[in-house]
Copies of this chain bind each other. A is one copy, B any other.
Amino acid sequence: MTSPRRELRRRQLLEAARDVFAEKGYVAATVDDVVARCGVARGTFYLYFDDKLDVFGALVSDFFARVAGSIRSIELGADAAPPREQLRANLARVVTLAMDEPGMVKIAFGTAFGVDPALDERLARFYAALSTFMDETLQTGQRLGLVRGGDRRLMLSIAIGGLQQLLRDAVDGHVPSDEHALVDAVMDFLQSGLLAH
């Protein structure tokens, strides 16, 4: 059904779209840009995707899936690593993934609402899924006394926003993109905040 040739072309288009979106943003990017980068004709694009939003969705949903897939549940067994180490390892995987896919970081975290209602809905779904997932994690953490008390929604909003911005800035070269340093910075923030004690 999906011949290897077809699969290859699809992948080519996805990569081209990713690069174009990352460079010019979703709105400014044209289907023409994408096919030109692929060296195929305009119509070819529509053999693989319904429209511009469809590629965007494919790109973002795949990226979010990989992000989610890189996060492991914190194990509490006697022979498991300390929770804080597991958390750091999760963070490290996410950071690595992000640094490996700078384009996707720009796309997934830099595409604003309000451009296209259909796009909005799509992004909202992704964020909601991510949020729910993280909320459950946090809830468990609180129950186990690993996470301090407080309104989880507020804590999450700040934490996710902070991580997003850090990754975005790293990708844009505004802050150093050394993975270890990034992970440390986040861990420090999560452990101690910003102020001296």
Residues of A in contact with B (beta carbons under 8 Å apart) = 21, 23-29, 84, 106, 110-116, 145-148, 150-151, 153-155, 157-166, 168-169, 174-176, 181-182, 185-186, 188-197
Contacts and interface: CB of A to CB of B under 8 A. Distances in A.
Which of A169, A182, A194 has the most chain B CB atoms inside 10 A of its CB?
A: A194
Number of copies: 4
Given A155-B185, A185-B154, A115 B112 contact: yes
A27 B119 CA distance: 13
Contacts of A193: 188-193
A181 B151 contact: yes
Contacts of A181: 151, 154
B154 A166 contact: yes
Contact of A166 (B158, B196, B197): B158
Contacts of A27: 27, 112, 114-115
A94 B160 CA distance: 20
Instruction: Give the 10 A-B CB pairs with smallest separation, nearest first.
Output: A25-B114, A161-B165, A112-B112, A162-B162, A158-B162, A154-B185, A193-B193, A190-B194, A157-B169, A153-B175
Nearest to A23: B114
A190 B52 CA distance: 41
Nearest to A84: B195
Contacts of A29: 114
Which of A145, A146, A174 has the most chain B CB atoms inside 10 A of its CB?
A: A174
A24 B113 CA distance: 8
Given A110-B114, A162-B165, A188 B157 contact: no
A60 to B, nearest CB: 14
